[in-house]
């Protein structure tokens, strides 16, 4: 079961086919008494016993009224949209307590004490298919029992094809009071870790650390973000291209004026400086407006509540500024060289 859970946790980063096992095999089950033993270990901060099963479920959109969005039976409106079938799929079903995942980011909160015993929280990969929005219209049928859908969350288990339900409900349906996976959080001390390992060995339980699973998922996210970072690079390249086109167009319109200045005795260095400072004025305005606007957009819309390293932030701003200033310098150098090869005979009418 530990190996299976590890494969489930790495489904995003390693989408290999999962081996079929009997999740409810008695050899995988742990009694409540055994789970309580781990809670008494000094240095153990939390014990999370879960019940996992892999089974087929069916999705529906409940019958509801078209004009108000109320469920059928809540109003007297005659305009009823009938129940709709959304599909069937084999998913991972996880039984948890209400306090299991209090800090996870969900759309409408995790399972709470006030929720019905037949309530589920869906993984992100089920949205748009088995589960539809708004969630209060969705229904999941498992073993002939209907479950309401409260919210959705991003979960690496089984690549997001997962449903969370109250563990007591699953135990009643399956007919057991045991659990088949145990997550233990310690204070990080070697003594607590050794005691947990000894208890697992004494009771015939397999043991594994979640650190490799976390590393694999973080490496996968880093790989995804490396592709996402192509977007700002392409945006910067497009910005530089637009700015270069704008500067060259402005220089071309005033080219005759620059040639006249050269004929009147302006030195090449003076012409280069003139072109550069005229271009730098435009570049400076773009930089003063664009960089702060990009920073605000990133913090507010792309990465809310992000923890940003000052060095990385300064490096990205410096790189963008250097790229934009280089565009102004290149265009100034190009037209300066062009002016050196132009005489009064080449003046345009």
Choice among 102-106, 117-121, 239-243, 301-305 with the minimum mean pLDDT: 301-305
Q: Is the pLDDT of residue 122 over 80?
A: yes
Instruction: Give me the DSSP letters along 95-116.
Output: EE-TTS-TTS-BSS----TTS-
Distance CA 110, CA 103 (A): 9
Name which of 91, 85, 89 is nearest 23 in CA terms: 91
pLDDT of 90: 93
Q: Is 303 left (phi over 0), alpha (psi -120 to 50) or beta?
A: beta
pLDDT tens, position by position, 134-174: 888 999 999 989 999 999 988 888 988 999 999 999 999 99
Between CA 45 and CA 34 the distance in angstroms is 17
E-strand stretches of 63-206 = 64-65, 80-81, 84-96, 119-123, 138-142, 145-153, 162-166, 181-186
Q: What is the mean pLDDT of residues 115-136?
A: 90
The per-type count for the chain, helices as H runs and strands as E runs, is: 9, 9
pLDDT band of 347, cuts 50, 70, 90: low
pLDDT for 296 equals: 73
pLDDT above 80 (res 270): no
Q: Is 104 left (phi over 0), alpha (psi -120 to 50) or beta?
A: beta
What integer pLDDT is reported at residue 165 of this predicted model? 93
Q: Which has more confidence, 133 or 226?
A: 133
Q: Look at the block and give the residue holding tokens 């497009």.
A: 238
Q: Among 89, 110, 92, which Cα is nearest to 8's?
A: 92
Q: What is the mean pLDDT of residues 306-317?
A: 63
Residue-level pLDDT at 301? 61
Q: How confident is the model at residue 9 (pLDDT cuts 50, 70, 90)?
A: confident
Evaluate if residue 345 carries a pLDDT over 70: no
Lowest model confidence (mean pLDDT) among 69-73, 136-140, 231-235, 277-281: 69-73
* Token pair of 36 as six digits: 């309580």
Peptide bond preceding 20 in cis form (omega within 30 of 0): no
Q: What is the pLDDT of residues 193-227, one digit of tens each?
A: 999 999 999 999 988 888 888 777 777 777 766 66
Query: How wide is the angle at C-alpha 34 spanned by C-alphas 96 and 46, nearest 5°?
Result: 50
pTM of the shown model: 0.68
Rounded percentage of the chain residues whose pLDDT exceeds 70:
82
- Contacts of residue 294, defined as CB under 8 A and 6 or more positions apart, other chains included, come to 320
Confidence class for position 121, pLDDT limits 50, 70, 90 = very high
pLDDT of residue 105: 65
DSSP string for residues in 199-256: HHHHTT-----SHHHHHHHHHHHHHHHHHHTHHHHHHHHHHHHHHHHHHHHHHHHTHH
Q: Which DSSP letter does residue 20 get? A: P
Confidence of residue 131 (pLDDT cuts 50, 70, 90): very high
Q: Which of 69, 32, 13, 44 is nearest to 222 (CA)?
A: 13
């Amino acid at each position: 079961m530990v190996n299976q859970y590890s494969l489930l946790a790495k489904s995003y980063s390693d989408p290999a086919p999962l081996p079929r096992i009997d999740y409810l095999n008695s050899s995988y089950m742990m009694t409540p008494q055994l789970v309580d033993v781990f809670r008494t270990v000094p240095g153990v901060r939390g014990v999370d016993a879960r019940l996992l099963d892999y089974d087929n479920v069916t999705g529906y959109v409940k019958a509801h009224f078209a004009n108000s969005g109320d469920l059928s039976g809540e109003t007297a409106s005659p305009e009823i949209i009938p129940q709709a079938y959304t599909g069937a799929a084999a998913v991972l079903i996880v039984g948890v307590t209400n306090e299991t995942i209090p800090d996870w980011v969900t759309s409408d909160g995790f399972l709470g004490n006030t929720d019905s015993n037949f309530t589920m929280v869906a993984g992100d990969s089920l949205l748009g298919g088995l589960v539809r929005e708004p969630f209060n219209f969705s229904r999941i049928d498992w073993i002939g029992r209907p479950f309401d859908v409260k919210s959705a969350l991003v979960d690496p288990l089984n690549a997001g094809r997962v449903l969370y339900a109250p563990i007591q409900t699953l135990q009643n349906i399956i007919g057991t009071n045991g659990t088949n996976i145990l997550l233990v959080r310690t204070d990080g001390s070697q003594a607590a870790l050794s005691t947990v390992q000894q208890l697992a060995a004494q009771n015939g339980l397999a043991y594994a650390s979640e650190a490799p699973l976390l590393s694999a998922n973080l490496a996968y996210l880093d790989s995804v973000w490396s592709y996402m970072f192509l977007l700002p690079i392409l945006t910067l390249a497009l910005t530089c291209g637009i700015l270069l086109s704008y500067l060259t167009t402005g220089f071309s319109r005033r080219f005759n004026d620059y040639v006249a200045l050269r004929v009147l005795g302006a030195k090449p260095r003076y012409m280069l400086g003139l072109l550069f400072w005229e271009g730098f004025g435009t570049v400076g305005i773009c930089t003063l407006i664009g960089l702060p606007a990009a920073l605000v957009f990133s913090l507010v819309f792309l990465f809310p509540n992000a923890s940003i390293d000052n060095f990385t932030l300064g490096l990205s701003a410096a790189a963008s500024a250097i790229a934009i200033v280089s565009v102004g310098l290149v265009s100034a150098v190009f037209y300066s060289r062009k002016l050196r090869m132009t005489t009064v005979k080449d003046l345009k009418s």
